[in-house]
């Protein structure tokens, strides 16, 4: 979508420190001042009421852009496990309850897989990203997918979220074991951002 003002500042709409660090690293070198919701005083939380990752990304981008008065990038991402009918999906962050830690969430998924009786451990991480202008209008959106499988047990202390139980295709280690450099090349978030980058490059110096 065409915009009339160059993007000089971009708010990353997350309070997840791990996600913020990952996105900032992927955007390194862009001539844009990167801001975050952490700079706001008690930012209101945008409810993820959408039925898809894309709808939630657009909701958050639009509403946080209006709150901050800046171009805003938001994402919604999660883990889809084939044998569990795509669960936890859009409920990944709140699976088992918002207060449930990811150690417990991963244990739940491993237990549900065992109970399913299925030998299929295929899974994928999905990410949808959206950028809204300061008025809240969505000006760009992209998706990224990283396919793989669920490990027998959590391994590694790297990354965040479900990373310790996800083994991406072409690798033997989980995202919790692989280096940040490898993850930033192949992750669902990296792939979505790769689709976003041409739009940002085209609109930083109109």
Tell me: the pLDDT tens digits for 141-170? 999 999 999 999 999 988 889 999 999 999
Asked if pLDDT for residue 1 goes beyond 70, the answer is no
pLDDT of residue 154: 96
Counting other chains too, the contacts that 153-159 makes at CB distance below 8 Å and 24 or more residues apart are: 153/110, 154/103, 154/106, 158/183, 159/18, 159/183
Beta strands 33-36 and 71-81 are unpaired
Asked if pLDDT for residue 62 goes beyond 90, the answer is yes
Catalytic site residue from 76, 115, 120, 202? 76
Closest CA to 169 of 145, 195, 143, 196: 145
pLDDT of residue 188: 94
Go through the domains of the chain in sequence order and give each one's CATH number: 9-202 (3.90.950.10)
pLDDT of residue 205: 66
Distance CA 139, CA 126 (A): 21
Residue 133 annotated to the active site: no
* Mean pLDDT score of the chain: 91
Least confident range of 22-36, 52-66, 117-131: 22-36
Q: pLDDT category, 199, cuts 50, 70, 90?
A: very high
Distance CA 88, CA 149 (A): 14
State the pTM of this model. 0.88
Asked if pLDDT for residue 72 goes beyond 70, the answer is yes
Asked if pLDDT for residue 87 goes beyond 90, the answer is yes
Closest CA to 50 of 90, 99, 97: 90
How many residues make up the chain in this entry? 206
The answer to whether the CB of 141 falls within 8 A of the CB of 131 is yes
């Amino acid at each position: 979508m065409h915009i009339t003002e160059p993007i000089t500042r971009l708010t990353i709409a997350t309070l997840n420190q791990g996600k913020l660090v990952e996105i900032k690293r992927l955007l390194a070198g862009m001539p844009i001042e990167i801001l975050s919701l952490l700079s706001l005083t008690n930012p209101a939380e945008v409810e993820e009421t959408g039925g898809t990752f894309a709808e939630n990304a657009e909701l958050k981008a639009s509403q946080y852009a209006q709150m901050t008065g800046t171009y805003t990038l938001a994402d919604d991402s999660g883990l889809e496990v084939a044998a569990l009918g795509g669960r936890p999906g859009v409920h990944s962050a709140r699976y088992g309850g918002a207060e449930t830690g990811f150690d417990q969430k991963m244990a739940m998924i491993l237990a549900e897989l065992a109970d399913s009786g299925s030998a299929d451990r295929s899974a994928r991480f999905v990410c949808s990203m959206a950028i809204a202008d300061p008025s809240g209008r969505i000006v760009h959106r992209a998706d990224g997918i990283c396919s793989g499988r669920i490990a027998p047990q959590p391994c590694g202390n790297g990354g965040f979220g479900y990373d310790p139980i996800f083994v991406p295709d072409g690798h033997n280690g989980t995202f919790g074991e692989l280096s940040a450099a490898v993850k930033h090349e192949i992750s669902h978030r990296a792939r979505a951002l790769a689709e976003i980058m041409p739009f940002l490059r085209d609109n930083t110096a109109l």
